[in-house]
Chain A
Amino acid sequence: MTSSKTIVLRSSDGATFEVDEAVALHSLMIKHRIETGGADSTTIDVPEVTGNTLSKVIEYCKKHVEAPNSDDLKSFDTDFVKVDQAVLCHLAKASYYMNIKGLLDLSSKTIADMFKGKTVEQIRETFHIKNDFTPEEEEELRKENSWNLFV
C-alpha cells in the first residue's frame, strides 16, 4: 500500500489523536488545511471541537474510510447516533465545522426525528428549551400556528 502517513489532530482541550491521513481527509476542512497549509504540517488544531467529540468524529471517519462498502455500515450509523442529546448536538456542530457531510446529515437527521409529530410543549421538554414568550405573544402564536385540518 502507499505510505500510511499519519496526521495528529488536536482538540480544543489539548487532547491529541493520531489518525491515518486518509481518515483525516474525510473532513473537507482538514483536507483544505493540509492542501493549503504549510509544507510539513502534521499536527492540525481543531479548536472548535472538544476531545470527547473529536474522538467520536474520528471513529466515524475511520469506519467510513476504511470500510465504505461494508454491509454493516448502515447498522454502524444507526448505533453511532444512539447517544444522548448533548453528544448528538456536539456531533452536529463538529461535523458542520469540520465539513463532514455524511456525519452532519446523520446527526441532523437524528435530531430532526426528535421533532417529528411533537407538540410545542413536547419540543420544549425534549430539548430543554425555555419558553421566552409573553403570555400575549403565546396566545397570538397559538392562533397563528395551530393548523386545523379541514376535518
Chain B
Amino acid sequence: MEWDSSNSDLSGDEEGGFLLNDGGPLPFPVDSLLQPAPCGFVVSDALEPDHPIIYVNSVFEIITGYRAEEVLGRNCRFLQCRGPYAKRRHPLVDSTVVSEIRRFLEDGIEFKGELLNFTKDGTPLMNRLRMTPIYGDDEVITHIIGIQFFTEVDLDLGPLPGSTTHGTVKSSDPFRSSLLSFRLTPDGTRSPSRGLCRILQLSDEVICLKILSRLTPRDIASVGSVCRRFYEVVKNEDLWRMVCQNAWGSETTRVLETVPGAKRLGWGRLARELTTLEAAAWRKVTVGGAVEPSRCNFSACAVGNRVVLFGGEGVNMQPMNDTFVLDLNSSKPEWQHVKVGSPPPGRWGHTLSCVNGSNLVVFGGCGTQGLLNDVFLLDLDAKHPTWREISGLAPPLPRSWHSSCTLDGTKLIVSGGCADSGVLLSDTFLLDLSMEKPIWREIPVTWTPPSRLGHTLSVYGGRKILMFGGLAKSGPLRFRSSDVFTMDLSEDEPCWRSVTGSGMPGAGNPGGIGPPPRLDHVAVSLPGGRILVFGGSVAGLHSASQLYILDPTEEKPTWRILNVPGRPPRFAWGHSTCVVGGTRAIVLGGQTGEEWMLSELHELSLASSVI
C-alpha cells in the first residue's frame, strides 16, 4: 500500500471536523489523512510526559480489542505487549524499529514503518504505522497522530498466559475479521483477503453431502455463483433433493416425488420456483366424466395426483355417500365413480384427509340422523377399495364444519366445528392412524382461541399447526375472523399461541395487509412453511380470489399479497379444494348455492409444468 505523500502537509487552519476529548478541534483536515480503507487512528498529547493517548477511533477499538476508556492516558506502546497483563514488550517485536520511532519523533520527523503489535486477546497483528508530529503555534510539537493499518500475521504463539482461550484463536467477531481482511490492490480496488483457501481442498463428497446439504435453497443459489468448482458441485440433483428435503421436510418431498419423472421439474428448478413463486399462475382445466347426482358441500382431498371426492348434500338436501376419483395424471382426466365396499353413512360438512400414503379418512359431518363423529378409512390403491370403520375410544363430540389436517402423514387432527344445538367448539383432538388400534386423544390446553367453525388448520415446519379464520364466537355473537393461532405439537405440553409467539390471548396477529375476515376459505401449506390463503365467504365487498401469503417461521410474521397471472375462480371453498402433487391447488368450482361445476376446474399451479 502506497502512502500518499501529498497528504503529509498537515499545517493549515482548516477546521478538522472532529473534536478531541477536551472539546477543542484540531487545526488540520483530518479526513484527508484517512486512506480509503479502515485504519486505526490515534492521537497522543505530545506536551504531556510519555505522550498519553487522548483519542482513538472505533476501528482501533474493534481491531485491537481495547476500548477507548482502557487506553486513554497510556502510551500506545502497550500494543507491543502481548495481552492486557503483560508488562514488557514481546520478544518478537523488532526493537530497532521501536528505537527508530523514538528517534524520528524526537527529531520531529514523520515515521513510516511496520511493527508487530498484539490485540487484547493476544492475537499478533502487523501494524503498518505512520506517525506524524503536529506542530502548534510556536514550532512546538503539540500532538502526534498515529495511523495504523493492521493485517493478520501467521504466527503460532501458543495460548495467552493466564487465559483459558487459545491465543491464536481468530476473533469470532465478524466485523473485526472483515476489517482485518480488507486490503487495497495497487489500483485501489478491493480484493478478498489473500488467505489460503482451504475449503476447496475438501472432496466434492464432503462439500456436497456434508456441508452444502445443510443450507437453504437460497444459500445454495448464492454458493453456485462463487466460483467454477462450486458452480459444478451445485449442479448435482441429489444435492438439491437433500436440500429440499432438509428445507421442506420428508413428507413434502415424498409428495413432490409422486409426480411422474417425465412431468417433474428438476429439484433445483423446483426449489427455486417454490421459493420465489415466480411461475405461479391460475389456469383452467377441463375434465370429462361427471359427478352425479349433483351436489354441494362435499369434501375433496388429493392422493398423489388424484382428486378424491366423497359425500355431499344433494339437490333435495339428502346426505350422499358415494366416492369419485379424478386422475390428473391421465392425458384425459375424467371423473370416475369408485365402486367401494361398505360406504359410510351419507353426510355433508365432514372432512376428508389423506393419511398413510394412499388412504383417505372421513370424520364427522351431518348425516340423515344428525351430527356424526365416526371415522372411516379407505385404501384407494387396494384391489377392492373398501371403507372400513375405525372405532376409536372416546371420540370427539359429533360435529360438522370442523377443520382437519394430517400430521406426519399418519395422524389426523380435528378441531372446532359446530356441535348439536348449534354450539361452537374449540377443542383439538388427535387420532394416530399408524397404530393398530387408533385411540382418540384430546390435546389438553389451558387456553383455546374462541370457538369457531369453517376455519382452516395447516401443517408447517414439521409438527406445527396454524389455525386461521372461521366464524368465531364473540360473546353471544359470531363474527368472521382473520386471527392466526399456532401450536407446536413437538412440545411436551403444546399450547395455542398467537403467531407472534406471545402466549397472551389476542396479543398479536401478523403485520402487513392481512386477508379480510372469512370462513370456509382455502389454506395451502407451501414448502418451507409458508401458508397461502384465498377464497371463502368474505365479509364485505372484498374479492375472495386475492391471494395472501404468510410465513409463520419469520421473526416478525407478515401477511403479503401474492399477485399471480391468469384468471382466478370467483369462488373457492376450503372443503372443495385440494393440492395435488404438492404444487397444484385444484379448486372444484363452486357457485353460491346451486349446481357446482365439476367439469371446469381452476388450478393454481405453483411451479411450471414440463410440457
The contact of A150 among B196, B206, B226, B276, by CB within 8 Å, is B276
Q: Is A33 interfacial (CB-CB < 8 Å)?
A: no
The answer to whether B192 and A129 touch across the interface, beta carbons within 8 angstroms, is yes
The answer to whether B215 and A149 touch across the interface, beta carbons within 8 angstroms, is no
Within 8 A of B (CB), among A84-118: 84-86, 88-90, 92-93, 96, 104-105, 108-109, 111-112, 115-118
Q: Is B168 interfacial (CB-CB < 8 Å)?
A: yes
Size of chain A's interface in residues, with CB distance under 8 A? Answer: 45
Alpha-carbon distance between A124 and B275 when the two chains are bound, in angstroms = 24
Q: Is B210 interfacial (CB-CB < 8 Å)?
A: yes
Alpha-carbon distance between A88 and B169 when the two chains are bound, in angstroms = 12
Alpha-carbon distance between A61 and B118 when the two chains are bound, in angstroms = 34
The answer to whether B228 and A132 touch across the interface, beta carbons within 8 angstroms, is yes
Alpha-carbon distance between A17 and B472 when the two chains are bound, in angstroms = 70
The answer to whether B560 and A133 touch across the interface, beta carbons within 8 angstroms, is no
Alpha-carbon distance between A117 and B219 when the two chains are bound, in angstroms = 6
Further 18 A-B residue pairs, CB within 8 A, beyond A105-B210, A127-B197, A147-B276:
A85-B170, A86-B196, A88-B198, A104-B210, A108-B206, A108-B211, A109-B214, A115-B223, A125-B181, A127-B198, A127-B199, A128-B197, A129-B199, A129-B226, A133-B227, A141-B225, A141-B231, A147-B272
Within 8 A of A (CB), among B214-240: 214-219, 221-228, 230-231
Alpha-carbon distance between A120 and B169 when the two chains are bound, in angstroms = 26
Q: Is A5 interfacial (CB-CB < 8 Å)?
A: no
Q: Is A130 interfacial (CB-CB < 8 Å)?
A: yes
The contact of B223 among A96, A123, A130, A151, by CB within 8 Å, is A123
Query: B274-318, CB under 8 A of A: which get 1 and which 0?
Result: 011110100000000000000000000000000000000000000
The answer to whether A89 and B226 touch across the interface, beta carbons within 8 angstroms, is no
Within 8 A of A (CB), among B157-181: 166, 168-170, 172, 178, 181
Q: Which residue of A lies closest to B197 (CB)?
A: A128
Query: A122-151, CB under 8 A of B: which get 1 and which 0?
Result: 011101111111000010011011111111
Q: Is B155 interfacial (CB-CB < 8 Å)?
A: no
Q: Is A32 interfacial (CB-CB < 8 Å)?
A: no
The contact of B212 among A112, A118, A132, A145, by CB within 8 Å, is A112
Find chain B residues with CB under 8 A from A124 CB. Answer: 192, 226-227
Query: B171-205, CB under 8 A of A: which get 1 and which 0?
Result: 01000001001000000000011111111111101
Q: Which residue of B lies closest to A84 (CB)?
A: B170
The answer to whether A149 and B276 touch across the interface, beta carbons within 8 angstroms, is yes
The answer to whether B276 and A92 touch across the interface, beta carbons within 8 angstroms, is no
Q: Is A74 interfacial (CB-CB < 8 Å)?
A: no
The answer to whether A96 and B560 touch across the interface, beta carbons within 8 angstroms, is no
The contact of B196 among A92, A123, A128, by CB within 8 Å, is A128
Quote the shortest CB–CB distance from B181 to chain A (angstroms). 6
Using known A-B contacts A92-B210, A150-B276, determine if residue A86 contacts B227 with beta carbons closer than 8 Å.
Answer: no
Quote the shortest CB–CB distance from A45 to chain B (angstroms). 20
The contact of A133 among B195, B211, B228, B276, by CB within 8 Å, is B228
Find chain A residues with CB under 8 A from B210 CB. Answer: 92, 96, 104-105, 108
The answer to whether A128 and B225 touch across the interface, beta carbons within 8 angstroms, is no
Quote the shortest CB–CB distance from B175 to chain A (angstroms). 13
Name A's interface SS.
Answer: helix
Q: Is A119 interfacial (CB-CB < 8 Å)?
A: yes
Quote the shortest CB–CB distance from A122 to chain B (angstroms). 9
Q: Is B549 interfacial (CB-CB < 8 Å)?
A: yes
The contact of A116 among B192, B195, B219, B225, by CB within 8 Å, is B219
Q: Is B153 interfacial (CB-CB < 8 Å)?
A: no
Quote the shortest CB–CB distance from A67 to chain B (angstroms). 19
Quote the shortest CB–CB distance from B480 to chain A (angstroms). 26
Find chain B residues with CB under 8 A from A145 CB. Answer: 221-222, 224-225
Alpha-carbon distance between A117 and B555 when the two chains are bound, in angstroms = 15
Q: Is A83 interfacial (CB-CB < 8 Å)?
A: yes
Alpha-carbon distance between A96 and B202 when the two chains are bound, in angstroms = 10
Find chain B residues with CB under 8 A from A117 CB. Answer: 219
Quote the shortest CB–CB distance from A27 to chain B (angstroms). 16
Q: Is B92 interfacial (CB-CB < 8 Å)?
A: no
Q: Which residue of A lies closest to B512 (CB)?
A: A151
Within 8 A of B (CB), among A52-91: 82-86, 88-90
The answer to whether A129 and B272 touch across the interface, beta carbons within 8 angstroms, is no
Q: Which residue of A lies closest to B560 (CB)?
A: A151
The answer to whether A86 and B198 touch across the interface, beta carbons within 8 angstroms, is yes
Quote the shortest CB–CB distance from A82 to chain B (angstroms). 6
Q: Is B562 interfacial (CB-CB < 8 Å)?
A: yes
Find chain B residues with CB under 8 A from A90 CB. Answer: 198
Quote the shortest CB–CB distance from A130 to chain B (angstroms). 7
The answer to whether B219 and A115 touch across the interface, beta carbons within 8 angstroms, is yes
The answer to whether B200 and A150 touch across the interface, beta carbons within 8 angstroms, is no
The answer to whether A123 and B211 touch across the interface, beta carbons within 8 angstroms, is no
Alpha-carbon distance between A127 and B227 when the two chains are bound, in angstroms = 11
The contact of A130 among B169, B197, B198, B201, by CB within 8 Å, is B197
Using known A-B contacts A128-B196, A145-B222, determine if residue A115 contacts B215 with beta carbons closer than 8 Å.
Answer: yes
Find chain A residues with CB under 8 A from B194 CB. Answer: 128
The answer to whether B227 and A129 touch across the interface, beta carbons within 8 angstroms, is yes
Find chain A residues with CB under 8 A from B219 CB. Answer: 115-118
Q: What 6 pairs across the A-B complex have the smallest Cβ distances? A: A108-B210, A89-B198, A112-B214, A128-B195, A128-B197, A145-B221
Using known A-B contacts A149-B275, A150-B562, determine if residue A82 contacts B169 with beta carbons closer than 8 Å.
Answer: yes
Using known A-B contacts A112-B212, A115-B215, A150-B562, determine if residue A93 contacts B206 with beta carbons closer than 8 Å.
Answer: yes
Provide a sorted-by-A list of 30 A–B residue pairs whose CB atoms are within 8 angstroms: A82-B172, A85-B198, A89-B201, A93-B201, A93-B206, A96-B205, A104-B210, A105-B210, A108-B206, A108-B210, A111-B211, A116-B216, A117-B219, A123-B223, A124-B226, A124-B227, A129-B197, A129-B226, A130-B197, A133-B227, A133-B228, A133-B231, A141-B225, A141-B231, A147-B221, A147-B275, A149-B275, A150-B276, A150-B277, A150-B562
The answer to whether B181 and A123 touch across the interface, beta carbons within 8 angstroms, is no
The contact of A120 among B168, B196, B226, B278, by CB within 8 Å, is B226
Q: Which residue of A lies closest to B549 (CB)?
A: A150
Find chain B residues with CB under 8 A from A127 CB. Answer: 197-200
Alpha-carbon distance between A118 and B183 when the two chains are bound, in angstroms = 20
Using known A-B contacts A92-B206, A93-B206, determine if residue A119 contacts B222 with beta carbons closer than 8 Å.
Answer: yes
The answer to whether A123 and B193 touch across the interface, beta carbons within 8 angstroms, is no
The answer to whether A112 and B196 touch across the interface, beta carbons within 8 angstroms, is no
The answer to whether A123 and B214 touch across the interface, beta carbons within 8 angstroms, is no
The contact of A89 among B199, B223, B225, by CB within 8 Å, is B199
